[in-house]
Structure 1
Amino acid sequence: MSTYAVGFARPDRRSWAQPVDQPMSWHAVEAHRPADELDGEVELAVCGAIVQVWGAQRWDRMSAGRSTCAECRQRTTPALRQVG
């Protein structure tokens, strides 16, 4: 099972693949080291958005919220990954 940090899509760090007016600002970032070590780093989210890691948040808690990226939620849900 992969571990994910939480990334925030800042307006100045948006990916060209993501619409500028995208309301879903929170994204999953695959963490290859502890999330607190990534805190403040600019990383690539699971969906391809460029985000800044917010180390104080955990993706497993945030991922149920309405302000999270639907693609990140889909790609980080184990049951959905096995089917797709």
Structure 2
Amino acid sequence: MTTQTLTFAAARSRAHGPTTALWHAVEVHRAPADLDGACELTVCGTLARVTTEAHWPVSGVDVCSACTAAS
């Protein structure tokens, strides 16, 4: 039996119109070292750029509530 560890990475979305940029969770199925800062599909369905400087969960008021609840 194989055990799979679920890992989340932090990703920052872009601000669009009246919305602000938010931190999102990205479910990672590969080594964190393989993340290259490209845009990834987040837990809530948004495209956001993964960052290796921040770790999920990110604290603050600019965090996606859907990603927080799902992770």
CA distance in 1, matches of 2:43, 2:9: 10
Distance in 1, Cα, partners of 2:7 & 2:55: 10
Q: Which runs of 4+ in 1 moved over 4 A?
A: none
State the distance in 2 between where 1:7 and 1:21 align.
20
1:73 aligned onto 2:59: no
List runs of 5+ in structure 2 lacking aligned partners.
none
* 1:42-71 per-position Cα deviation (integer Å, ceiling 9, x unaligned): 1000000110001111103x1x42211000
Gaps of 5+ in 1: 15-19, 77-84
How many residues are paired up? 67
2:30 equivalent in structure 1: 33
Larger helix proportion of the pair: 1
Give the deviation of 1:10 after TM superposition: 1.7
Partner of 2:40: 43
What TM-score do the two structures reach when normalised by structure 2? 0.77
Are the aligned partners of 2:12 and 2:21 in contact in 1 as well (CA < 8 Å)? no
What is the match of residue 9 of structure 2? 5
Match of 1:54 in 2: 51
The structure whose residues are more often strand, as a share, is 2
Deviation at 1:36? 3.5
